[in-house]
Structure 1
């Protein structure tokens, strides 16, 4: 489902700073190609069979309070996909009913702290159904010479055009869908309208492999903006191996969040997080806290690490695998023979690293201070 506000091009039929005559005539002409020329083809929130002259007069008269150089109306288009049109089985009445839902959402999406909520009946709008589309000079097929301009496109092309006034019925409030998220949340309008289509007609969209790849590419671009340069093909392989499940997309969001915090800063860490099994993640969440590095087989109790003990078939206490491993290593090294000895985590000596970062290790070059005294003098000069 594609729902959008068409841009108002200067000199074109969508120019919206003056009369709506050109746009209304165009919408009527395109809609009459496969219809009775005597039949009125516009509809609104409650009525059908509305004449084009009434549409133009009502839109052009509903402009009190608008400046001459400001938009007087807006043009919207509602384009269901071929799969969605097949699901509706070409029922035009269902398309009209859905258009009314979309325009209700359009009205209710205008928000203001000081003004009353706008409802569907408060908006002046008219719509018509078009069943064909034509190629334009911007289409790739025309530019490559495959088809001619104004040639009809093949397949199911049914869509709905809507012309809506930039003022409410009382002409006391301006309604501009391009005014920004403070007054009109464009994404919220689209999401609500798509959900309404699925719920109203029992439609479950089938997402193709290409659509999944496009979605994943957008996510990879977001990760690149936070400093994670990932291999796209490897990401697609990981996505396919997990069937692009909801858990996979959730992991990507978590990787992005942790990358912003600095917890993930290499591609390898990101890949490992994405292929991590849910059971292992739950183990980490329930078991080990930060700073707790006890190995499997050891239980932390009251600040001490105790060996866990299991029982064999005879009911006798038996040693765990970690105990056996410790004893075997003790036989070879002569250490850790006492299994009751506390487990001590391995400590890494970082003294050389600290020494490398000290002031004395800075190379003696013309661009650097050569001693602590020089550095002190330089700071004093800066303060002066």
Structure 2
């Protein structure tokens, strides 16, 4: 079982730009279906079949409350069974729909929320469509070898499922990013469980080539990684005051403890950007260790002094002037949970 989260940057912005409306993505999926001679109106979700593209667009594009212009509004997923897996279920569209609905249950459950809460598919806004054919692309080995032309249909069973899912839950209170921190959404774990779901649901024994392979980090490159990290720390230190300079060895130790993961490098990049912009980089080590900015300390003592001062100034005037809550950010997303 091959299940993938589409990366818009590597799959063509024209089809998968997910920072705005879902119209481009849906038009692409409809175009592909038309080229394959399929029904243009076949989308489905957890509860319904036969959804029209216009309905799907309305559902996705209206479920963006709380997102900024730069935020991803939706994500695109692909479920692509092997030819043997498709043959096992006799390429049955209804069975593939039932499996897709279970995959989306696993997708929802895979998000780690505060307070040990768990989502279900009914809490998501998503739709899917089934395509029967695949075409050769210019980068395929068969095309490069001259054995096939771009646009030719691939032989054999090629049925696969395209899914579009909102970046917000149905109540528009939680932001759901499957491409963020592993602690919030473990992509590999979801892919593995989805493969196991097919085996359990259809009593299928997966071949080794059909199982999720976890790519092991090449530890032989760690020395080179450490050298490069040291160089980046030196660049940061040249752009910040002495009081904010980083200890290169400590940064390397954090990198090792995190197995040089994406979160560490993303955090290091954030620190580099701040240094270049002349912004303070307090709590840098906390950021590198956790991938999160350290919470701002409470300013309650300052607020209490201001209250006392104002009471003294205004005593006997009959006025009750409210002191601004210094240090507390006012947020229109009060009470929301962020999954990033």
What is the TM-score of this pair, normalised by structure 1? Answer: 0.53
Q: Which residue of 1 aligns with 2:200?
A: 199
- 1:146 CA drift (Å): 2.6
- Report the Cα distance in structure 2 between the residues aligned to 1:167 and 1:138, rounded to whole angstroms: 34
- 1:45 CA drift (Å): 0.3
Q: What secondary structure sits across from 2:163 in the alignment?
A: strand
Q: Report if the CA contact (8 A) 1:75-1:161 is conserved.
A: yes
Moved runs in structure 1, 4+ residues, more than 6 A? Answer: 221-226
- Report the Cα distance in structure 2 between the residues aligned to 1:186 and 1:49, rounded to whole angstroms: 29
Are 1:61 and 2:41 counterparts? Answer: no
Q: Deviations over 1:156-189 (max 9, x none)?
A: 1100000000001111110110012121011211
- Report the Cα distance in structure 1 between the residues aligned to 2:213 and 2:219, rounded to whole angstroms: 13
Q: What secondary structure sits across from 1:192 in the alignment?
A: helix
What is the aligned-residue RMSD (CA, Å)?
A: 2.7
Q: Report if the CA contact (8 A) 2:36-2:133 is conserved.
A: no
Q: Which residue of 1 aligns with 2:184?
A: 183
Q: Which residue of 2 aligns with 1:307?
A: none
What is the TM-score of this pair, normalised by structure 2? Answer: 0.60
CA, structure 1 residues 137+66, in 2 after alignment: closer, same or farther (shift >3 Å)? same
Q: Report if the CA contact (8 A) 1:136-1:142 is conserved.
A: yes
Q: Which residue of 2 aligns with 1:133?
A: 134
- Report the Cα distance in structure 2 between the residues aligned to 1:171 and 1:215, rounded to whole angstroms: 34
Q: Deviations over 1:212-262 (max 9, x none)?
A: 9x979x77x868789xxxxxxxxxxxxxxxxxxxxxxxxxxxxxxxxxxxx
Are 1:42 and 2:38 counterparts? Answer: no
* 2:17 pairs with one of 5, 9, 15: 15
Q: What secondary structure sits across from 1:196 in the alignment?
A: helix
- Report the Cα distance in structure 2 between the residues aligned to 1:34 and 1:145, rounded to whole angstroms: 23
Q: Deviations over 1:125-155 (max 9, x none)?
A: 0000000011112212223333221121111
- Gap regions ≥5 residues in structure 1: 227-384
- 1:22 CA drift (Å): 1.2
Q: Which residue of 2 aligns with 1:3?
A: 3
- Report the Cα distance in structure 1 between the residues aligned to 2:154 and 2:44, rounded to whole angstroms: 25
- Report the Cα distance in structure 1 between the residues aligned to 2:194 and 2:93, rounded to whole angstroms: 18
Q: What secondary structure sits across from 1:167 in the alignment?
A: coil
Q: Which residue of 2 aligns with 1:28?
A: 30
- 1:34 CA drift (Å): 5.0
- 1:35 CA drift (Å): 5.2
Structure 1 or 2, whichever has the larger Rg, is: 1
CA, structure 1 residues 36+149, in 2 after alignment: closer, same or farther (shift >3 Å)? closer
